[in-house]
Amino acid sequence: MIAPVSGAAGRLSPMSRDHDPLWTAVHAERAALADDLATLTDDRWAQPSLCAGWSVQDVVAHLTAGASHGRAAWFRSVVGARFDFAAHNDRRLAEQRGAGPAETLARFRSVVASTTAPPGPVAAWLGEVVVHGQDVRRPLGLTGAPPVDVVTHVAELFVGRDVTVDGRAAIRGLRVEATDGPFRAGDADGDVVRGSTLALTMAVAGRAAFCDDLSGPGVATLRARCGS
């Protein structure tokens, strides 16, 4: 549910993708999420995620779908959905949702090392697995989290443009500062929002639950802009 964006970084050759550190991070985060999910009982897969209307199993199927079709297939699907991206996402999700959690997880594991992706920079697909990983971990009480340097790439993408998420709009007039890494962005004179790089990234991506992990006079404004 993070919209794809265009950019030269998304046009890597298969050989260069094998050596791209961002793709390495994508693969590592997928593998870590798959390992976390392997511990779940079937009933927990049905639990609501932070994506409105989607269960944990739905989110995992969505991640599998994103790693299963490249540019041409993505474009055909979007055209077939008459550019209704919600319909496109739901249809693709249904294609990859297994008959049960075990099959859904197996399908996700099968794309862990995939470099197939819709149009967009690699950081966008890293953002997919970082954000959606927390979309399922948070409500399940799972504590796994990506390394700070990995999340920093995503945070910088999100606040740089309103395409993957409305990140630049979310921090308009605010100053966001990570307490665990180098990430800083926004208005130097704006109300400050402080927290971990991950909490800031998730809040900027519209996950209001992560505002509980932030501090500073700008938190209320950011929470009001979160869309979920």
CATH of the domain at 198: 3.30.1050
Q: Which residues on adjacent β-strands are paired with residue 55?
A: 48
152 and 130, same structural domain? no
Range of the domain at 131: 10-140
In this structure, the number of other CB atoms found within 10 A of the CB of residue 192 comes to 16
Check residues 189 and 94 and name the one with the higher pLDDT. Answer: 189
Q: What is the dihedral of CA 190, 191, 197, 201, to 10 degrees?
A: -80
Among 70-84, 105-119, 134-148, 161-175, the least confident range: 70-84
Task: Please tell me what DSSP assigns to residue 111.
Answer: T
Check residues 97 and 172 and name the one with the higher pLDDT. Answer: 172
pLDDT value at 6 more than 80? no
Q: What is the dihedral of CA 149, 151, 157, 162, to 10 degrees?
A: -160
Check residues 193 and 82 and name the one with the higher pLDDT. Answer: 193
Domain boundary among 113, 140, 167: 140
In this structure, the number of other CB atoms found within 10 A of the CB of residue 43 comes to 8
219 and 170, same structural domain? yes
* pLDDT the model gives residue 77: 54
What pTM was estimated for this model as a whole? Answer: 0.85
pLDDT value at 126 more than 90? yes
Residue 121 near residue 10 (C-beta atoms within 8 A): yes
